[in-house]
Chain A
């Protein structure tokens, strides 16, 4: 029970919010789906960053791959000749169902994770993160110059917008479960153990490079799912959706909640999604409940940036301080004795 509590509590929390809010107001369904997609992206990033301690600034590339692949596979058959005439010939002429397409997108994102990961995980932490940023840039160049259809550089339209709250929730729960299983598995634990002292870990036989690659691939897969869903949420997108603003938003959500725990990923997504939603509504002169504010365009990003800076100054470990949700006292049973920490006794 104790081991399962962190994940069960998170699954319950997310499910409750996702299912209750649309009941409160139908208009919130879209916002809930968007938040769930954000959650998947953040969890995807977390699987790599939280376990390896390496900040990757290029994960949105995997989102892009997931999005483009899934979209290309699911653009309705009747529209395919017009919408995507320039895709390679091995792409099927008929659209496939959404769920397999999402998986295909995620799978290909995972493959990219391997390709990119192999050179990058051999670098030291900071270099790896910066190299991932170069990957992001390169991907943006590629997508910005490739014209799959008449929409212009890297733009795809007519992607079916067939997401439901329940369906997206399923994917989000899956992402969280995968993340939790990984971090509790021996691969995840070894990776975490190597975070603080790579040399010590290597001397104990931990193959840090291999562990990081595993995390990278899983992380890419999950992020790919998020990207695929994103495509089906917006219906049309371009390469700008997978560049710096999105990278920043996803990172902000993870950082605000706390990099080191899954609960951090969830809490951060929740907090920023709510704030972002409110700010976006107000920027568009729409009310949030009974409140209406006048805000200039772009306020949302600015506020999120300031919020992130604030958290980093005041509480760098994030809202959850790197901890998972703790079992409430009542359910925990008899209190365990506090582990005594004191100076190392020289013997």
Chain B
């Protein structure tokens, strides 16, 4: 269970996130939607430890405090980030990208590592096919799958996804969300940030709308319409509806 309490993020004088509090239970998927500049990415980056300063508030995974940890320690604690734009290491091959994520496992766990890798490759068969290719040559959808597989190989209890549909064609987005739904069965908490509000809310168990760094509306389980209404009421005709 991920508990975020009073999270605030500042970039110099600019407050990007103001006092955000939410939880994400084990095996639960929550969606954070909102317009550009709302602070969604900042929340994920702050949780993952990717921000060097300007973060206040508390993040806990079960009872362990993870706020203020370095990115390496945060991953070790069980929180993995699939960042916006995927940030694939393009000078490395696909298999090297995957190996890197397993880089901190002990040598004695070779069998376990092999198993995990095989499982990822079977979930994302396109990666098995492209294993020896330089990651920079992959298409957007393939890179997205690589990014997700990579994050999963650090054995996270919480998976943070920052705009996985960004820049991808609708068909490819389907593939990505299919892959994500397979992960849901594994008792992993997923925090999904998405511009495609409808899609995200349909996918998630719960969600909230973020605007100007603050939570404006939340939904309970299965009550996405209320959130959509809140989203669109303030942004008439301008939100990305995400029809698909």
Contact = CB atoms under 8 A, between A and B. Distances in A.
A adjacent to B, CB under 8 Å: yes
Interface of A: 341-346
* A interface majority secondary structure: loop
A346 B213 contact: no
B49 interface: no
A345 B14 CA distance: 12
Nearest to B36: A346
Contacts, number: 22
Contacts of A346: 35-38, 235, 238
Interface string B197-218: 0000000000000001100000
11 contacts: A341-B14, A342-B212, A343-B14, A343-B37, A343-B38, A343-B212, A344-B37, A346-B35, A346-B38, A346-B235, A346-B238
Interface of B: 13-16, 35-39, 212-213, 235, 238
A342 to B, nearest CB: 7
B142 to A, nearest CB: 29
A341 B36 contact: no
Contacts of A343: 14-16, 37-39, 212-213
A342 B37 contact: no
B197 to A, nearest CB: 14
A188 B37 CA distance: 32
Nearest to A341: B13
A342 B211 CA distance: 12
Contacts of B213: 343
Between A343, A345, A346, the greatest number of chain B beta carbons within 10 A of the residue's beta carbon is seen for: A343
A91 B238 CA distance: 75
Contacts of A345: 37, 212
Contacts of B39: 343
Given A341-B14, A345-B212, A346-B35, 12 more contacts: A341-B13, A342-B14, A342-B15, A343-B15, A343-B16, A343-B37, A345-B37, A346-B36, A346-B37, A346-B38, A346-B235, A346-B238
B214 to A, nearest CB: 10
Listed from nearest, the 7 A-B pairs whose CB atoms lie closest are A346-B35, A341-B13, A344-B37, A343-B212, A346-B36, A346-B37, A341-B14
A98 to B, nearest CB: 49
A108 to B, nearest CB: 44
